[in-house]
Structure 1
Amino acid sequence: MLEDEFGREVTGVRVSLTDRCNFDCVYCHNEGLGDTRGPMDPQDDELGTDAVVRFLEVAHDFGVGAVKFTGGEPMLRDDLEAIVRRTPDDMAVSMTTNGTFLPGRAEGLVDAGLDRVNVSQDALDAEAFAELTQSGAYDRVLEGVEAALDAGLAPVKLNMVVFEPTAGYVPGMVDHVAENDGLQLQLIEYMPELAGHPEWAVDIQRVHDWLEAQADHVETRAMHDRKRYFVSSEAAARAENGTVAAADGGGDAAGLGMVEIVDPVGNADFCANCHRVRLTHDGYLKGCLNRNDDLVAIGETKASMREAFRTTVAERVPYYGEYMIEEDGEWTFNEAYRDSEGDRTPYEYSKDD
């Protein structure tokens, strides 16, 4: 297992299979690459089935035990089931999707070896959902969640980005997972450095405080110092006016929903415990979601992929607290990581390596 100079072993990989998506979410950062969405047809720069599998075999050889398939929308890949089936047997396989293609395919993905699924769902109202995603697929997403549950993928984790347009929907989403067995909620802190619109950012601590007030009990995961709040449906429903700032005490209803917050900004433990690298849809490894100046081309052979993996891990830097440092309440670039020629260009390996 490879370890970077900060003592972090790389135990997982995120593999973006495409940057195509049938949604146009207003907060999309496309795995940190920016808004590169385009035609729905397969693109020439997407890694082929064999290349993805070859990379996973290399990662497995380095002791990586988990892969998460992402996009864009990974289910736009017709070969997704084949990729999942050919993933090394003892690697845990998960996927993040918008859920619209799960009806009719969830069972086949489970048969191929899919273990878990995250479904992006930012609202419980079709009109609000359409405004956020620029799609009219709300009912299809709900069908996708049900298809995942029916296929045995429980718990299905719903991903919700928390920013100004969605903050008022948090109590309803918490109530939703409390009332429905098999669902969990993952609230994701909005990062304007990736998606722009800094005016949309909210103080994520407010959400923590609100959940703490509602929770029947709270657990803390050592990794990332991430809290899990177990909230009854009645407690969540007592939030006045549907805002995260207005609720009072807890509740004692039987149903409990598990809610977790992903909050990397200002959470020193988050980057310090990051144990994954990312593969872009077009064949570059990156050591951090927030960075694109550390891209390393994987090439086509296992030899070039191994070298790219080693290079990526060796040059990993925690984004918050190392690559970006906080000065006078502001995050600024650490000049120690700027090379002598200014911005770095991606490493390139010959296709024949």
Structure 2
Amino acid sequence: MLADEFGREVTGIRISLTDRCNFDCVYCHNEGMGDTRGPMEPQDDEMSTDAVVRVCEVAAEFGIDSVKFTGGEPLLRQDVEEIVSRVPASMAVSLTTNGTFLPERAEALVEAGLERVNVSQDALDAETFAAVTKTGAYDRVLEGVDAALEAGLDPVKLNMVVFEQTAGYVPEMVEHVAANDGLQLQLIEYMPELTGRPEWAIEIERVHDWLAEQADEIERREMHGRRRYWIGGGMVEIVDPVENASFCANCHRIRVTHDGYLKGCLNRNDDLEPMGELGRDEIRAAFETVAANRVPFYGEYMVRGEDGEWELNDEYVEARVN
């Protein structure tokens, strides 16, 4: 098992299969790489089918037991079903998608071995959805959610980024998942340090407080110290990494970019480690290097200054340079 000097074992990987996307969401940070959306055509720098599978196989050698495929929009690739079918049996397989390709592909993905799916859905009306995603695909996303449920991907977790444009729709979305069996809701804190537009951010603790007032039961997960709220039979969870030392202290995940780099932290791009030509020995070496160099973003890479604000840890940066 890979572990860093803070005792955090690496148990999961997120693999970006492409930076292409058929949406243009205003909050996109492309797995922390910035809004670098590529052309819609397949690109030469995307890892091949075999390379993605080798990364998963090496990860499994290290005891990593889960993989989530992301993008961009991963289902713009036509080989996702093959990739899923070739993931080692010891790894749980999930997917994050905007849902537009699920009506035709959900059943085949389940047959290939997909176990869970997250679908991005930031609003319950077409107009707001279009303003956030810059698409008219609202009905298509709803069809995708239904297709995923019909294929057996139960529960389907809806991802909703909470910021100025969407915060007012949180109560409606909570009611939606509570009233519909098979749905759960994941509220994701807006990350202005990755996306810009800090004026769009809202105080996520206000959302926690409101959910706590509505909840029948509150559960705190070990992973990142996340809080889950059970409301009327529905489950709502908040992902709140911004300025959250507990979140970073409990991070057990490594990310893989679409073009073959390992990334130890969502919030950083100065820790990218190439996997060379993606041979097994190169992949193993990269995993070992990235795991050894991981530090909690908040609490080590960023520390509290005398004024109580987070600031770059100069000692860490100097030690890394030297």
Structure 1 length normalisation: TM-score?
A: 0.89
Deviates more, 1:139-148 or 1:189-198: 189-198
Q: CA deviation at 1:339?
A: 4.0
Pair 1:332-2:311 in alignment: yes
Partner in structure 1 of residue 170 of structure 2: 170
Paired with 2:64 and 2:14, the residues of 1 have a C-alpha distance of: 11
Partner in structure 2 of residue 283 of structure 1: 260
Structure 2, gaps ≥5 residues long: none
- Provide the secondary structure at the position in 2 that maps to 1:118: strand
Paired with 2:247 and 2:104, the residues of 1 have a C-alpha distance of: 36
Partner in structure 2 of residue 269 of structure 1: 246
Matching of residues 310-329 of structure 1 within 5 Å: 310-327=288-305, 328-329=307-308
Partner in structure 2 of residue 191 of structure 1: 191
Q: CA deviation at 1:39?
A: 1.1
Amino acid in structure 2 at the alignment position of 1:330: E
Alignment check: 8 A CA contact 2:300 2:316 kept: no
Bigger CA radius of gyration? 1
Amino acid in structure 1 at the alignment position of 2:85: R
Amino acid in structure 1 at the alignment position of 2:281: A
Alignment check: 8 A CA contact 2:245 2:296 kept: no
Pair 1:179-2:179 in alignment: yes
Alignment check: 8 A CA contact 1:189 1:263 kept: yes
Amino acid in structure 1 at the alignment position of 2:291: V
Paired with 2:38 and 2:258, the residues of 1 have a C-alpha distance of: 13
Partner in structure 2 of residue 9 of structure 1: 9
Moved over 6 A (4+): none
Q: CA deviation at 1:191?
A: 1.1
Alignment check: 8 A CA contact 2:163 2:190 kept: yes
- Deviations 1:92-140 (CA, angstroms, capped at 9, x unpaired): 0001000000001000000000000000000000000000000000000
Amino acid in structure 1 at the alignment position of 2:78: D
Closer, same or farther in 2 for the Cα pair 1:130/1:214, shift >3 Å? Answer: same
Paired with 1:291 and 1:125, the residues of 2 have a C-alpha distance of: 34
Paired with 1:303 and 1:227, the residues of 2 have a C-alpha distance of: 39
Alignment check: 8 A CA contact 1:223 1:269 kept: no
Partner in structure 2 of residue 350 of structure 1: none
- Deviations 1:197-226 (CA, angstroms, capped at 9, x unpaired): 111111110000000111112111133221
Alignment check: 8 A CA contact 1:64 1:91 kept: yes
Aligned sequence identity (%): 73
- Deviations 1:180-203 (CA, angstroms, capped at 9, x unpaired): 000000001111111111111111
Partner in structure 2 of residue 67 of structure 1: 67
Structure 2 length normalisation: TM-score?
A: 0.97
Give aligned pairs, total.
320
Closer, same or farther in 2 for the Cα pair 1:205/1:341, shift >3 Å? Answer: closer
Structure 1, gaps ≥5 residues long: 233-255, 345-353
